[in-house]
Structure 1
Amino acid sequence: MGRPGLVPDRARGRYSMRNQATSRRASGCYGAAGRIRLAGQEDGSCRHHAMTHGRRGPRALAEPLGARWGALPGGLRGVLWMLAGAFFFAAHGPLVRLASVDVDPLVVAFLRSLALFFLMLPWIVAHGRQAARTHRPVEHVLRAATSLVGLVLLVLAQANLPLAEVSAISFAAPLFGVFGAALVLRETVRARRWIATLVGFAGVWIVLRPGLADVDPLYALPLVSAVFVAVSNLMTKSLSRTESATAIVAWLAVLSVPLTLVPALFVWSWPSAVTLLWAALLGVAGFGAHQCLSRALAAADASAVMPYDYMRLVITATMAYAIFGEVPAIWTWIGGAVIVGAVVYIARRESQAARAARGTAGEAGS
């Protein structure tokens, strides 16, 4: 017996498809115009045929979207990735505030690290030995500890202070990084970058307004957090000279769990299901932010995309107003603009210096 809808072609030793259309019309899968009947059909075979031949699956639909995305200019893709990252970074503060309702912020920091670890675990396992291979384990531990101190201080600040002000002050990390680059890495910092750094700190002063308003001692938290973030970034830069990016990311993800668990145990209380949900979303926000940032920097030059990272000040202020009714003071916007302007200028100068160094190295090698 031959297969239904196929006509034996003995000359070629296979089945011919020439009678297949006629078979479909006979079974009712085709209408008068010869098109697949999708609306209101009841026959199971017709429904199967429509699903397998007349509709496109998710993978097929994703292909043209991926092609269109890849066809966009690299600069535009970088900007879009950076804006998405700014949204994830901005969501961190409100999620911390919501998760801190019934547990201590130190517990929130641990739950965030745990959620982020589980999100990254498949990636770590997939890289296997490459993720664990290192020649500088002590530096990895120090870098993780420094980064997590900055994280814990930031979480404490976001749980207790106006979110827009915390966001504005946290932008000071690159300003501290200039001092670290000059003192620790022995990089040459010229007058323009020093002036921009001082202007940036003037912006921090505008946000805090010491002497003009009562300053809560808790405002030291985001400032000190910015210092630790700057030190962590410098250590990352140092590690990247000999370590793979895979190892740097994997070591931080693994070490973050025990390093945040220790302080959390001193103030431990069991989180509710709602708190666990906020903590899980915190992990997603952290994962999404770093993924978007890395993709933005891979798609375009840092000086072109980094300015868009500072949209998170606007996004944070909007979220804080919508969720908690916080209205930022005018000085927060003015000081934040000064800080952002200074940091953007520093980023552009560093990018120009890096391009000049690559050009010099290329000429020397040719």
Structure 2
Amino acid sequence: MVTADVQRNDRTIMVASCYVALAAALAAADAAVIRLLAGEVHPFVIGFFRSVFGLAVILPLIATRPHILKSGYRFQHVSRAALKLAALVCYFVAFAAAPLADAMAIMFMTPIFLMIGAWLWLGEAFTLTKLFAVVTGFLGALVIIQPGAAGAVAPALLFALGGSALQALVQLMLKRMSDKDNTETLVAWNLIVTVPLAAIPALFFWATPDLRQFLLLALQGVMGAINMTLMTKAFSMAEASHIAPMDFLRLPFVAVMAWVLFGEVAGFSTWIGAGVIFLSTLAVAGGGRLKRRAQAAAERDI
């Protein structure tokens, strides 16, 4: 029997995993919207409208609960928003130019980069299990990217890889910042700061969207705000390695949408590469749960 604390912790992880699963569905829909806008709206302009509509979603919350703007951080919000915007633009480029399933599968490298970042910046132990996960994760990415195969490596997939690394940095910052700021504060400040940051590059590529584009951008902004809230809440409730596996639901979700909307069928290498990355991070998550239960059992026997 495990202790009550461990059972409570497992329930918390389950709830956080549900948040991540819902966010995965929204992320797949987001990718489909980006593809629909591909070639019509520049990625920087998409990033600007995403932040504007996302901010519009939470403005009523800020108006009724202005105390959520009280934060224990200042400059960290700016750096986090800049990194998040850069990651989003990388993803937008990837979704517009590469097969959706391939780009989404490469994005699963975020937990791998997260392990490396936690070791470098947070001082977390880098075990043999994590080393195995990192090595196999990159092997999985190589299967998808296929360097040396006929034709050059698709630059869009490299953008997806870069976006994954940037997103890992954002999640590391979230883990630290959630110690002082709650979910609403983190989401509100991210959107408030991102709007002016995104406006600067968007001005250089500006083209006023038509009604269809405007509605798609609005939909994307709403989904993005909800997605950010869900993921921020999930990462404030549980360790990233424990909830990361649920994020892999994005691949079947986006594969179905790509097939229905665009006639894209995910290739064999996509599923194999994504499966390798998934198993590598799953091994770390499973090992963490076993270690936690073993520690609880040892404490009970003392």
Name the TM-score class by shorter chain: 0.7 to 0.9
Within 1, Cα distance between the matches of 2:74 and 2:145?
39
Q: Which residue of 2 aligns with 1:256?
A: 194
In structure 2, the CA distance between the partners of 1:208 and 1:301, relative to structure 1 (3 Å rule), is closer
In structure 2, the CA distance between the partners of 1:243 and 1:83, relative to structure 1 (3 Å rule), is closer
Q: Which residue of 2 aligns with 1:218?
A: 156
Any gaps of 5 or more consecutive residues in structure 2? 1-10
Q: CA deviation at 1:185?
A: 1.2
| CA shift digits 1:141-175 (9 cap, x unpaired) | 11111111111111111111111001000010110
Q: Percent identity?
A: 33
Q: Which residue of 2 aligns with 1:195?
A: 132
Within 2, Cα distance between the matches of 1:248 and 1:356?
34
8 Å contact kept, 1:193–1:349 = no
Structure 1 residue matching 2:209: 3-state secondary structure:
coil
In structure 2, the CA distance between the partners of 1:302 and 1:267, relative to structure 1 (3 Å rule), is closer
Runs of 4+ in 1 over 4 A off after TM superposition: 73-82, 291-306, 350-357
In structure 2, the CA distance between the partners of 1:116 and 1:187, relative to structure 1 (3 Å rule), is same
Deviates more, 1:197-206 or 1:278-287: 278-287
Q: Which residue of 2 aligns with 1:110?
A: 48
1:324 is the counterpart of 2:262: yes
Q: Which residue of 2 aligns with 1:170?
A: 107
Structure 2 residue matching 1:194: 3-state secondary structure:
helix
8 Å contact kept, 1:302–1:351 = no
**What letter is aligned with 2:92?**
V
Q: Which residue of 2 aligns with 1:274?
A: 212
| CA shift digits 1:328-360 (9 cap, x unpaired) | 211001001111111222233445567788x69
Structure 1 residue matching 2:264: 3-state secondary structure:
coil
8 Å contact kept, 1:303–1:351 = no
Q: CA deviation at 1:211?
A: 1.3
Deviates more, 1:182-191 or 1:167-176: 182-191
**What letter is aligned with 1:165?**
D
The structure that has the greater radius of gyration is 1
**What letter is aligned with 2:209?**
P
**What letter is aligned with 1:249?**
V
| CA shift digits 1:257-299 (9 cap, x unpaired) | 1111111111000000100110111122223334454677799
Deviates more, 1:344-353 or 1:230-239: 344-353
Any gaps of 5 or more consecutive residues in structure 1? 1-72
> With structure 1 as the length reference, what TM-score do the two structures score?
0.71
Within 1, Cα distance between the matches of 2:53 and 2:183?
21
Q: How does 1:326-345 map to 2 (within 5 A)?
A: 326-345=264-283
Within 2, Cα distance between the matches of 1:354 and 1:240?
22
1:137 pairs, out of 74, 86, 94, with 74
1:239 is the counterpart of 2:177: yes
Within 2, Cα distance between the matches of 1:297 and 1:194?
22
Q: CA deviation at 1:216?
A: 1.8
| CA shift digits 1:224-268 (9 cap, x unpaired) | 111110111111122223333332222102112111111111100
In structure 2, the CA distance between the partners of 1:147 and 1:323, relative to structure 1 (3 Å rule), is same
In structure 2, the CA distance between the partners of 1:76 and 1:183, relative to structure 1 (3 Å rule), is closer
| CA shift digits 1:3-23 (9 cap, x unpaired) | xxxxxxxxxxxxxxxxxxxxx
In structure 2, the CA distance between the partners of 1:145 and 1:334, relative to structure 1 (3 Å rule), is same
- Paired residues in the alignment total 288
Within 2, Cα distance between the matches of 1:239 and 1:80?
22
| CA shift digits 1:41-83 (9 cap, x unpaired) | xxxxxxxxxxxxxxxxxxxxxxxxxxxxxxxx98876665544
